């Protein structure tokens, strides 16, 4: 038994020393055997070996790396990598390099769910949606209650309502049924407004100004809560990586590409520019579908490499362990994860969350996260399937089109009753009541990054090749594309998968 253990240990030590020697050789350095021993004996898990090697190479002048040189760099890093404990339930600080990174989870449903799915919950939920969105619209119009129109009989009026139904009339115009707390009215959209009306999704809150004709209103303006032009671009000296839809456990998970991505984060691949960018990464945001899950769609088991959910999260945690500890990882769930399907979704339950390394922060879906002053709204993006189906000019290859629609409506799930199940929480947390700096989504497995009215809209592709199911519905994913928000608001598109 002892002999066996020793031989196992020996193999591991040999492997490590070979690894260390070849890492230095790649950078053009010889390393003294005593210096190798120093590195092998390193017990401090918070010190990332690859970063340490990189620092040693950058600071060393001679031909041979000595033990002293290694020890100097270790001391320097130890002083800097004292990770602090969370400040409060939602604030996490790390002080690895020059700029401290502070991640605040500002808003999500975790621990605050109160809905039971009854009629009353739905009434309160839609009231909350109406209140929040009409507050925004009231900055642009002066509405009167719909119920008072028949009494006051104004020629012209402005109203705010929730869209109940939209249909094309026999004359080619559109009839929009609009409701507020006091009543309901038919709004007729003619001329140029027909196009806007044809793209109404239902359940969104809009304002209309128009002329009253009998019991109808002829619209002359339709106003969405939309976001105002946002001029500021945060000027920071760190980078944020956005990703999603990793689908650990799926047999289509692109493990090789993922591993190159992780090596890049460890500053091991890419040219000088890419390595410097990797060094600046302080935070990775993951917008859902961390694992492939179990029983998500019929006959999914045929496409799984790991068939139990616990095993899938164990694998996910193991992979995330290889990401440098200086980087905070924010995990938000999606429709393949082990949380309730109805949105908003809480963060992963403890039994899975506890498997992950210390630098992982679990949040719900959606979640508002502040990363050193950059406000990011993370949302998996399940509502995009319904939005893309409803608006013919949109398609999966341009996910930013769908993001623009949700920003325009200031609501993440503007279609109720489609493919995105809704948990009728008393407060509608799916309203985009603040203007974020970045909105980060996933789900459709395609790439997009573009500024919309000054808000950076990102859809962060996937790490799963086309599945049999996606082949059948002609969905062409663009896996391995990683948007990186670099210093000064510059967007980089990194490609880790050949052919997309």
Q: Which of residues 227-246 bind Fe ion (CB under 5 A)?
A: 245
Which among 99-107, 169-177, 269-277, 438-446 is the span making contact with ligand D5M, rule CB under 6 A? 438-446
Should residue 60 be labelled a site residue for ligand D5M when binding is judged by CB under 6 A? no
Out of 385, 386, 425, 437, which residue is the one contacting ligand D5M (CB under 6 A)? 385
Which among 2-10, 28-36, 81-89, 467-475 is the span making contact with ligand D5M, rule CB under 6 A? 467-475
Binding mask 242-271 for Fe ion (x = CB under 5 A): ---x--------------------------
Should residue 246 be labelled a site residue for ligand D5M when binding is judged by CB under 6 A? no
Q: Which of residues 264-303 bind ligand D5M (CB under 6 A)?
A: 289, 297
Least distance (Å) between residue 257 CB and ligand D5M: 17
Residue listed under structure tokens 């399907």: 341
Should residue 404 be labelled a site residue for Fe ion when binding is judged by CB under 5 A? no
What's the rounded Cα separation, in Å, for the pair 160 and 229? 22
Q: Find, among 77, 42, 87, the residue nearest to 56 by Cα.
A: 77
Question: Of 128 and 441, which CB lies nearer to Fe ion in the complex structure?
Answer: 441
How many residues of this chain bind Fe ion (CB under 5 A)? 2
Should residue 335 be labelled a site residue for ligand D5M when binding is judged by CB under 6 A? yes
What's the rounded Cα separation, in Å, for the pair 459 and 224? 23
Should residue 180 be labelled a site residue for Fe ion when binding is judged by CB under 5 A? no
Q: Tell me if 409 sits within 8 A of 398, measured CB to CB.
A: no
Question: Of 161 and 477, which CB lies nearer to ligand D5M in the complex structure?
Answer: 477
Residue at shortest CB range from Zn ion: 443
Out of 289, 370, 386, 425, which residue is the one contacting Fe ion (CB under 5 A)? 289
Please calculate the CA angle 369-485-235 and round it to the nearest 5 degrees: 85
Least distance (Å) between residue 335 CB and ligand D5M: 5
Least distance (Å) between residue 245 CB and Zn ion: 6
What's the rounded Cα separation, in Å, for the pair 458 and 460? 6
CA distances from 60 to 27, 37, 45, 57, 68 (A): 11, 18, 23, 5, 11
Least distance (Å) between residue 381 CB and Fe ion: 9
What's the rounded Cα separation, in Å, for the pair 83 and 94? 5
What's the rounded Cα separation, in Å, for the pair 310 and 293? 9
DSSP state of 447: E
Should residue 292 be labelled a site residue for Fe ion when binding is judged by CB under 5 A? no
Residue listed under structure tokens 């961390």: 290
Q: Tell me if 65 sits within 8 A of 26, measured CB to CB.
A: no
Residue 468 class from Cβ within 10 Å (0-12 exposed, 13-18 middle, 19+ buried)? exposed
Question: Of 15 and 297, which CB lies nearer to ligand D5M in the complex structure?
Answer: 297
113 binds, among Fe ion, Zn ion, ligand D5M, none (CB under 5 to 8 A by kind): none
Please calculate the CA angle 100-368-84 and round it to the nearest 5 degrees: 30
What's the rounded Cα separation, in Å, for the pair 348 and 314? 13
Q: Find, among 297, 377, 288, the residue nearest to 338 by Cα.
A: 288
Out of 347, 376, 445, 486, which residue is the one contacting ligand D5M (CB under 6 A)? 445
Q: Find, among 25, 38, 30, the residue nearest to 70 by Cα.
A: 38
Question: Of 238 and 248, which CB lies nearer to Fe ion in the complex structure?
Answer: 248
Question: Of 479 and 486, which CB lies nearer to Zn ion in the complex structure?
Answer: 479
Report the interface residues with Fe ion, using CB under 5 A: 245, 289
Report the interface residues with ligand D5M, using CB under 6 A: 245, 289, 297, 335-336, 385, 396, 443-445, 470, 473, 475
């Amino acid at each position: 038994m002892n002999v066996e253990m020793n031989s196992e240990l020996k193999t591991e030590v040999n492997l490590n020393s070979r690894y260390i020697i070849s890492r230095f050789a790649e950078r053009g350095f010889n390393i003294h055997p005593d210096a190798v021993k120093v590195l092998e004996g390193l017990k401090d898990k918070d010190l990332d070996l690859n970063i340490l090697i990189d620092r040693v190479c950058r600071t060393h002048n001679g031909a041979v790396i000595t033990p002293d040189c290694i020890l100097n760099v270790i001391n320097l890093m130890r002083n800097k990598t004292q990770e602090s404990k969370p400040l409060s339930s939602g604030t996490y600080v790390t002080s690895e390099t020059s700029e401290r990174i502070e991640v605040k989870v500002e808003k999500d449903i975790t621990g605050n769910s109160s809905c039971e799915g009854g009629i009353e919950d739905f009434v309160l939920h839609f009231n909350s949606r109406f209140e929040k969105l009409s507050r925004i619209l009231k900055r642009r119009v002066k509405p009167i209650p719909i119920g008072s129109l028949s009494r006051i009989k104004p020629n012209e009026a402005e109203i705010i309502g929730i869209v109940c139904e939209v249909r094309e009339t026999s004359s080619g115009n559109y009839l929009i049924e609009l409701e507020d707390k006091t009543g309901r009215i038919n709004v007729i959209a003619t001329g140029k407004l027909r196009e806007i009306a044809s793209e109404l999704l239902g359940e969104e809150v809009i304002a209309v100004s128009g002329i009253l004709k009998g019991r109808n209103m002829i619209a002359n303006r339709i106003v969405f809560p939309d976001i105002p032009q946002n001029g500021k671009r945060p000027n920071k000296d760190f980078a944020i990586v956005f990703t999603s839809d990793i689908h650990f456990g799926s047999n289509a998970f692109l493990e090789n590409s993922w591993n190159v991505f992780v090596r890049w984060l460890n500053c091991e691949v890419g040219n000088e520019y890419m390595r410097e960018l990797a060094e600046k990464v302080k935070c990775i945001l993951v917008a859902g579908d961390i694992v492939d899950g179990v029983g998500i769609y019929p006959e999914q088991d045929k496409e799984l490499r790991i068939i139990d959910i616990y095993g899938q999260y164990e694998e996910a945690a193991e992979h995330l362990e290889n990401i440098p500890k200086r980087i905070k990882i924010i995990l938000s769930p999606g429709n393949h994860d082990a949380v309730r399907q109805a949105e908003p979704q809480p963060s992963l339950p403890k039994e899975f969350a506890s498997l992950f390394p210390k630098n992982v922060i679990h949040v719900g879906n959606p979640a508002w996260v502040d990363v050193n002053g950059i406000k990011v709204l993370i949302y998996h993006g399940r509502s995009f399937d319904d939005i893309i189906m409803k608006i013919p000019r949109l398609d999966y290859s341009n996910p930013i089109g769908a993001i623009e629609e949700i920003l325009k409506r200031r609501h993440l799930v503007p279609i109720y009753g489609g493919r995105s199940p809704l948990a009728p929480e008393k407060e509608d947390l799916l309203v985009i009541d603040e203007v974020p700096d970045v909105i980060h989504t996933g789900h459709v497995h395609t790439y997009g990054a573009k500024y919309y009215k000054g808000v950076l809209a990102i859809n962060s592709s996937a790490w799963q090749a086309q599945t049999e199911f996606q082949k059948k519905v002609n969905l062409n994913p663009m896996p391995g594309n990683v948007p990186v928000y670099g210093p000064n608001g510059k967007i980089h598109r990194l490609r880790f998968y050949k052919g997309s």
